[in-house]
Amino acid sequence: MQDLTHYIDGAHVQGTSGRFSDVFNPATGEVQARCPLANADEMARAVSVAQAAQPAWGATNPQRRARVMMEFVRLLNRDMDKLAETLSREHGKTFPDAKGDVQRGLEVVEYCVGAPQMLKGEFTDGAGPGIDIYSMRQPLGVSAGITPFNFPAMIPMWMFAPALACGNAFILKPSERDPSVPLMLAELMEEAGLPKGLLQVVNGDKEAVDAILYNDVIQSVGFVGSTPIAEYIYGTGCAQGKRVQCFGGAKNHMIVMPDADMDQAADALIGAGYGAAGERCMAVSVAVPVGDETADRLIEKLVPRIEKLKVGPYTAGDDVDYGPVVTAEAKKKIEGLVQSGIDQGAELVVDGRDFKLQGYEDGFFVGPHLFDRVTPEMDIYQQEIFGPVLSTVRAGSYEEALKLAMDHEMGNGTAIFTRDGDAARNFAHRVNVGMVGINVPIPVPLAYHTFGGWKKSVFGDLNQHGPDAFKFYTRTKTVTARWPSGIKEGGEFNFKAME
């Protein structure tokens, strides 16, 4: 049993609240560590340290800040396996998937090496008689991020890397379910040259979240998690005058047109629907074949692929397709939704309810499930399952398939598989979803574009990473300057238009 810590002012600090959360090994069901849950006083201490450290960092020129990011990239590559192994042990995802988690965060850090270019302002020479106008981007001060369990490396880096590159201090409140990798990242940032107090990790639950939301020093808050909590954080944070971006749940549809390559579509659905045990906000959980013939062909391709999936712990090798879900509660919720699908009349084509893994009977493993003939009023369609469950909703036409994606309250990601360029273009232009894949099942943009959904998948007007990150973590200041030349006579009492 390991007692984890907070990371405050460049040091590991024991929790003082007396409250802890268990950190499980999802493969065995055993408690492997205790995570301290901070109170408001502990959060206030971290904020005070950040507030004191930030001015000097904000005054450091962007090129020097970028060099810290360069070195951080090198250290991430050096420690990739160590980070991935720790991540797999606490989260349960396979080792290759854990490395991908770190890699996609690393790519955002690489983008932040370009901070000097991204932070350049604008300048107008001679806007009026002897008048120049220029704007500059300046850091907010102290920012905070509240991140989920499913990407304990990637999403923290999506937040703290641009925040720090812009000159802010950052307080990270990671998920208490798998907090070790965020603590390791804070150590690596300081090894890369980041001064102490600029990146701190404060573990906690709702008490820590509220301490962030009601602290006047914290200027911005980022969040990724469920939609109800996203709504709460967005509403509360905005009411306190903070800049807030919140990313909520998802129900991602993949439309399969009759002309699609059915093997390609089936392979895409296997990876997008069952990878990481479905614990991804960009997982495809709804397949929408257009026409019964298309649906029958797709199901025929899917069933043998699903039945061959290898489920096991990350220690079983790189050929494991997916591991356990994160907690016993998550497993129970998934199994309850599967039962609701059966009760409400969906056809369970592949039944994973009796899945057991010898030697890991107490682990949080969930077998793969495939439903057919799901209808929009069913709970398994309405709710985000966050597990290895794929629902098939048959559509009679392209317009009906498009309407399914557009009518759902979530709008994170979607995809269409087709050989028809006109259908693909029409879909991309019309669908009211933030990220669209064309023959790409998980359309997560690369680091130099922005990530964000629509509808109830997002609250706020700026996306994550890419150019939007540099807008979110800075304020624009515009200066109008006049340097008079020669002798000026008297004052002016009217506001003249620029000549």
**In angstroms, rounded to a whole number, what is the distance separating the alpha carbons of residues 393 and 390?**
10
Q: Is the dihedral of CA 397, 402, 406, 409 positive or negative?
A: positive
Q: With CA atoms as reference, report the closest residue to 75 among 199, 196, 193.
A: 193
Total residues found in the chain within this entry: 499
Query: Among residues 35, 112, 166, 281, which one is catalytic?
Result: 281
Determine the distance from the C-alpha atom of residue 277 to the mean position of all C-alpha atoms in its chain, rounded to a whole number.
Answer: 17
Chain center to CA of 150: 8
Give the helix/strand (H/E) hosting 481. Answer: strand 474-482
In the three-class reduction of DSSP (H, G, I as helix; E, B as strand; rest coil), residue 256 is classed as strand
Q: Is 366 exposed, middle or buried (0-12, 13-18, 19+ CB in 10 A)?
A: buried
Identify how many contiguous H helices and E strands the chain contains and give both numbers: 16, 23
Give the pLDDT score at 129.
Answer: 86
Whether 281 is catalytic: yes
For residue 349, give the 3-state DSSP assignment.
strand
Q: What is the DSSP letter of 449?
A: S
Q: Could you write out the DSSP letters of every residue in 76-141?
A: HHHTHHHHHHHHHHHH---HHHHHHHHHHHHHHHHHHTTHHHHT--EEEEEEETTEEEEEEEEE-S
pLDDT at 428: 98
The pLDDT score that the predictor gives to residue 499 is 55
In the chain, the amino acid numbered 268 is A
The answer to whether the Cα torsion of 6, 172, 280, 403 is positive or negative is: positive
Rounded Cα–Cα distance for residues 135 and 121 (Å): 5
Can you name the residues that pair with 253 across neighbouring β-strands?
286, 414
Closest by CA position to 143, among listed 45, 240, 242: 242
> CA end-to-end span of the chain, whole Å?
74
Residue 430 has, within 13 A of its CA and on its CB side, a CA count of 16
The Cα 225–Cα 212 span in angstroms is 16
Contact 274, 388 (CB under 8 A): yes
Instruction: Say if residues 464 and 154 touch (Cβ distance below 8 Å).
Output: no
Cross-sheet strand order for the sheet of 458-459? 11-13, 6-8, 199-201, 169-173, 142-146, 218-224, 243-247, 458-459
- Yes or no: say if 449 and 470 are a contact pair by the CB < 8 Å rule: no
Residue 149's pLDDT is 97
Q: Which strands sit side by side in the sheet containing 474-482, from one edge to the other?
A: 122-128, 131-139, 474-482
- List the one residue out of 288, 234, 281 whose CA is nearest residue 384: 281
Q: Which residue has the tokens 């008048």?
A: 131
Residue-by-residue pLDDT tens, the chain, 499 positions: 899 999 999 999 999 999 999 999 999 999 999 999 999 999 999 999 999 999 999 999 999 999 999 999 999 999 999 999 999 999 999 999 999 999 999 999 999 999 999 999 999 999 988 899 999 999 999 999 999 999 999 999 999 999 999 999 999 999 999 999 999 999 999 999 999 999 999 999 999 999 999 999 999 999 999 999 999 999 999 999 999 999 999 999 999 999 999 999 999 999 999 999 999 999 999 999 999 999 999 999 999 999 999 999 999 999 999 999 999 999 999 999 999 999 999 999 999 999 999 999 999 999 999 999 999 999 999 999 999 999 999 999 999 999 999 999 999 999 999 999 999 999 999 999 999 999 999 999 999 999 999 999 999 999 999 999 999 999 999 999 998 776 556 666 676 665 5
Q: Give the gyration radius of the chain's Cα atoms.
A: 25
